[in-house]
Structure 1
Amino acid sequence: MTHASVKSERAAQTVAQHLESLILEGSLRPGERLLPERELAERLSVSRSTLRDGLRILEERGLLAPGGGRGSRVAPLGQAAITDPLIALLARHAEAADDYQEFRGIVESAAAAMAAARATEVELARIRDCLDRMDRAHAAADAQEEAEADAELHLLIYEASHNLTLLQIMQAMAGVLRSDVIQNRSRLFAVPAIRELLRRQHRAIAEAILARDAPAAQQAAGEHIRYLRQASREIREAEARLDLSLRRLNGGGAGTRAGATPPLPDAGP
């Protein structure tokens, strides 16, 4: 191998290591598309051929995926394990959904406390911006935008915790377990009174983090998840009662009810 090829290989490894660090720390999120090749090469001060070699290294490691003719994107890291059929099975059962909320309560309370102690000024500014986004959506009665701001705020808190293991696990789970089956987010945000309560809860968490009050942040996050857990449980129970009522109304689809016309008997030969 020539000196030039050795140098080129080292440069590609440096590119790969830099991008890998951005993925690990959460600067590049799963599914996020990288800059166009020309712009990214300029940002990293390398040639396009060196950049391609670096990207190829990360693709071989499973960290990048082809972007369908539009460059590379970060692979959906961690989701292969979390989309195991066992997880899908658990997600369909109420007790597992409740256990997930309990898990979130433990993790997010700790994450909020860590964020209050460790967040940088840049991260605090992003949390303020997210609160403003939530307030604007709330004022406009835009439930979808408010729900998306909700999800973003929780992810920002994980990032501000500066615990890379926690961030990567919760980031992977967020893409799979953010469904209504688990969190009932769309149902909750459909009720104006509940949206207002959730807004106050989110503000309490964020303001405690902004004030760098770790105990208050931990308490506010714990109260928020406990409320979500109880509300989700009540929604599931109400839906189960409704399903039972509907089955009784039509005989479970297998019987007849008074007033219904039974099938004609066979007259025979």
Structure 2
Amino acid sequence: MASEVNKGAPAAQATARHIEDLILEGSLRPGDPLLPEREMALRLNVSRPTLRQGIRLLEDKGLILAEPGGGRRVAPLATSITDPLVELMASRPEVVEDYLELRGTLEGMAASLAATRANDVDRETLGRCMARIDQAHDDADPRDEAEADVDLHVAVYEASHNIVLLQIMRALSGMLRKGVFHNRQKLYARPEVRDVLRAQHRAIHDTIIARDPEGAARAAIDHMHYTRRVLAEIVAAEARLEISLRRIEGGSIAQRR
């Protein structure tokens, strides 16, 4: 369906505002490449010079990035925390725990809102994400299952129809994909954990589809509590293993007979 710019404001500003709205509501996502200029002007029903001026306004704001070769894409808006600060936070175990605690609260809120506000399009998206989780699980493909996991959570945020929550959670999910705070592959490398995670994702999906806000919130919070506990167990097990290896090697500084 073609979008059309509101002609009530000066053309270039109205074009820029329309694209801003698409970014804010999540229709244009961080990193999305934009259509070629000719096609985009047709979709927005504006002239190419007007589009060019509107895009320039957005580039000046840092919302759109020009690329070599003339292409443009949406700026990575959801990574406004500077890389050094993210690296510092990710290196501290107590911050990782805080991150998971925050996600637990926001996930419950998002699932509850999604159960109340999701429309047919949202529910279809959630269904596709759940089907991908099932397929990856059946194929014993931890990498694809972990990616489908994040996509399901993003679909829940979108279905919440809360723009601020969506943008915050997109930032957190972007960090999760990159393994900033923890490595999801460690979770999905354990078959017994994968079974529980799929059941929990199914519970989140089903309660949202059933329009059960309390059940959806409870399912999302239970899922995050479980994730926090299992990750803590993995970290503790890895620490014990390191100690055992150091004992065998004498801390790398003792002479062994």
Give the alignment's TM-score, normalised by structure 2.
0.91
Cα offsets for 1:32-79 (capped at 9, x unmatched)? 111222221111112222211111111111111123325211111141
Give 1:8-23 correspondences, 5 Å limit. Answer: 10-23=10-23
Structure 1 residues not aligned, in runs of 5+: 1-6, 260-269
**Per-residue deviation at 1:176?**
2.5
Which secondary structure does the structure 1 equivalent of 2:77 belong to?
A: coil
Give 1:113-128 correspondences, 5 Å limit. Answer: 113-128=112-127
8 Å CA contact 2:154–2:170 kept in 1: the answer is: yes
Q: What is aligned with 1:216?
A: 215
Q: What is aligned with 2:156?
A: 157
Size of the aligned set, in residue pairs, is 250
In 1, the alpha carbon distance for the partners of 2:178 and 2:70 equals 28
| Identical pairs, percent | 53
The ranges of structure 1 where at least 4 consecutive aligned residues each deviate by more than 6 angstroms after the TM superposition are none
Whichever of the two has the greater Rg, that structure is 1
8 Å CA contact 1:130–1:153 kept in 2: the answer is: yes
Cα offsets for 1:66-111 (capped at 9, x unmatched)? 233252111111413x235333212112121111111110110011
Cα offsets for 1:162-195 (capped at 9, x unmatched)? 1111111111232224444523311111222221
In 1, the alpha carbon distance for the partners of 2:91 and 2:135 equals 34
Q: What is aligned with 2:85?
A: 86
Which secondary structure does the structure 2 equivalent of 1:250 belong to?
A: helix
Which secondary structure does the structure 2 equivalent of 1:182 belong to?
A: coil
In 2, the alpha carbon distance for the partners of 1:222 and 1:178 equals 20
Segment of structure 1 superposing worse, 224-233 or 235-244: 235-244
Give the alignment's TM-score, normalised by structure 1.
0.87
Which secondary structure does the structure 2 equivalent of 1:65 belong to?
A: strand
8 Å CA contact 1:184–1:232 kept in 2: the answer is: no
Residues 90 and 117 (structure 1), Cα distance of their counterparts in 2 relative to 1, 3 Å cut: same
- 1:252 is the counterpart of 2:251: yes
Give 1:144-223 correspondences, 5 Å limit. Answer: 144-180=143-179, 182-223=181-222
**Per-residue deviation at 1:252?**
2.5
